[in-house]
Amino acid sequence: MAGTIIDYVKEYGDLTWEEFPMNDVDSLVLCQLAYLKFDGLVPGIRENKASVTLKDISIHADYEKLYADERYEKSNRALFEAVLHSRRYAKLRLNCYINIIEKEWETQFSAVTFLLEDGSLYIAYRGTDETIIGWKEDFNMAFLDLVPGQAYSVKYLNMVAGKLRNPLYLGGHSKGGNLAVYAAMKCLPTVKKRIRKIYSMDGPGFRPEVLTGCKYEEIAERVVKIMPHSSVVGMLFEKDIHYKTIESKTFGLAQHNPFTWVVKDGQFVDAGDIYESRRFMDEAINEWILSLDEKQLRTFVDTFYQVISASQAEDLITFASNWRKSLTGIREALKEVDDKTMEMLKAIVRSLFDIMGERIRREWRDKPKKKLKAKKRPMKKPLRRKSLLKRQNKSAEIQNPDAGMLYSGGMHQGNGNPLRAEEPPVEQALRPAEDKHYQDVRDATELR
């Protein structure tokens, strides 16, 4: 029976890692656990303390603070409780927790290290949720060459690898997936050799120049990219990257929620590929992003965030579901945008529609043309001569359009022949209608 990652833990929780080796679903479970607020519950990256178990966390005085994010409190609690009472995760230990929030930098960075039963480490980077500021951060990571969180991710990986010499897995959902891949590309060579796999769960990709400059090819075979069939964030700059497409219980933006991903028989349900309509839009957006310079991108993202925030919706799902109410706030916010910025925004949006229009024309032009075959009418069985003459003799007087006179019987050979077989429709072939980096990013030499 198909279910979610919570159902997976309940069904396979009695099997150890040795009996049922770690798989993609286990990776998502750990990535989702990274969203929990472990502040004060798990030793920090700079603390030299022993790792803690899930049991230690469950009996801690501040246990309830684990579910500080009220929107996902129910699902996160159900997942943690399932993991806590499972045999599979009973020996899981946690350490090296970090949580950095810098409002002025619009940066949220958090990570935790899991010590698995087989002795390996799983470094899970926390991602973003459906909040508008979270989505802004996701798009910033794809638009710009480097953001502070990426610099922190590299430093964190090198620090953990320096303290613990075990084999490594890296992973994260959403922004966390991007951080995991970036850290793997930029970490120390000795650390890179210890990495077994890197999981990006519907995380945004990278601009082509970043992949080239960071030598992505050195880790490409170890990257596992997984995203739902209508992915939005995960398809940013993923045209030439191998990925797995899976089923989700919902559609659109809501698919970004890991608790909607479908699991059956101990694995994600394969969806084949991204939906064609979604792929077309994703590729058009990617082409559009690459056509803009950094100033245009910054202006678009910042203004978009300012305008969407004016809708008073906490997340994009709420924004879309209450679009009438949201538009009222947007109209007021647009009045506050200065003329120069507005003109730039219009030009940016116009360029997106130009690119989409060109892609439509190009796809139509390159698509093989198929001739429409005329439908053949079923041929009636010809009448024998005697029957035909008999029918003609019984016919009423018929007006002759050529001569303007009446005639009875006989085979008329003029243009007005009423027995002339109807010509088949003319065949017609379809024709296409004419139709930089952050200048002020610190080098993150220390993690606070």
Question: Of 288, 313, 343, which closes a domain?
Answer: 288
> Domain total for the chain?
2
The secondary structure element, H or E, covering residue 31 is: helix 24-33
Question: Of 254, 288, 322, which closes a domain?
Answer: 288
- Counted residue by residue, the chain has a size of 448
The SS3 assignment for 276 reads helix
- Check residue 158 and give its pLDDT: 98
Is it the case that residue 444 has pLDDT exceeding 90? no
When pLDDT is cut at 50, 70 and 90, the band that residue 146 belongs to is confident
The pair phi, psi for residue 118, each rounded to 5°, is: -85, 5
Does residue 280 share a domain with residue 149? yes
- Check residue 309 and give its pLDDT: 67
Q: Within a domain: residue 393?
A: no
- Extract the tokens encoding 128: 């973003």
When pLDDT is cut at 50, 70 and 90, the band that residue 356 belongs to is low
Does residue 188 share a domain with residue 303? no
Looking only at the bridges linking them, the beta strands covering 267-268 and 263-264 are: antiparallel
User: What are the start-end ranges of the H helices in 199-322?
Assistant: 208-213, 276-291, 294-309, 316-321
Helix axes 294-309, 339-366, angle to 10 degrees: 110
Q: Within a domain: residue 198?
A: yes
Does residue 342 share a domain with residue 255? no
Is it the case that residue 226 has pLDDT exceeding 90? yes
Does residue 192 share a domain with residue 127? yes
The SS3 assignment for 212 reads helix
Higher pLDDT, 212 or 323: 212
Does residue 221 share a domain with residue 104? yes
When pLDDT is cut at 50, 70 and 90, the band that residue 64 belongs to is very high
Does residue 239 share a domain with residue 156? yes
Show Cβ contacts of residue 249 under 8 Å, excluding neighbours closer than 6 positions. 4, 260, 261, 262
Q: Within a domain: residue 416?
A: no
Does residue 241 share a domain with residue 216? yes
Question: Of 271, 288, 305, which closes a domain?
Answer: 288
- Check residue 343 and give its pLDDT: 72
Structure confidence by residue, pLDDT tens digits, 6-60: 999 999 999 999 999 999 999 999 999 999 999 999 999 999 999 999 999 999 9
Does residue 167 share a domain with residue 181? yes
Structure confidence by residue, pLDDT tens digits, 297-320: 677 777 767 766 666 665 555 665
Q: What's the rounded Cα separation, in Å, for the pair 5 and 125? A: 18
Q: Within a domain: residue 373?
A: no
Neighbouring C-beta atoms of residue 199, cutoff 10 Å:
27
The secondary structure element, H or E, covering residue 174 is: none
Does residue 340 share a domain with residue 202? no
Q: What's the rounded Cα separation, in Å, for the pair 431 and 370? A: 10
Does residue 304 share a domain with residue 272? no
306-318: b (≥16 Cβ within 10 Å) or e: ebbbbbebebbbb
List own/partner pairs for 135-140 with CB under 8 A and 24 or more apart: 135/233, 135/316, 136/106, 136/301, 136/304, 136/305, 137/106, 137/107, 137/108, 137/175, 138/174, 138/175, 138/178, 138/204, 138/233, 138/236, 139/204, 139/236, 139/301, 140/106, 140/301
Identity at 252, one-letter amino acid code: G
- Check residue 201 and give its pLDDT: 94
Q: What's the rounded Cα separation, in Å, for the pair 4 and 229? A: 16
Q: What's the rounded Cα separation, in Å, for the pair 19 and 34? A: 25
0.95 exceeded by pTM: no
CATH code at position 270: 3.40.50
Q: Within a domain: residue 322?
A: yes
Does residue 276 share a domain with residue 132? yes
Among 42-51, 111-120, 277-286, 360-369, which stretch is predicted with the lowest mean pLDDT?
277-286
- Check residue 216 and give its pLDDT: 93
Does residue 234 share a domain with residue 141? yes
Within 50-194, strands assigned E span 52-53, 93-102, 107-115, 121-125, 168-173
Q: Within a domain: residue 400?
A: no
Structure confidence by residue, pLDDT tens digits, 105-128: 667 899 999 999 999 999 999 997
Q: Around 128, how many Cα atoms within 13 Å sit in the side-chain half-sphere?
A: 28
When pLDDT is cut at 50, 70 and 90, the band that residue 385 belongs to is very low
Domain that holds residue 26: 5-288
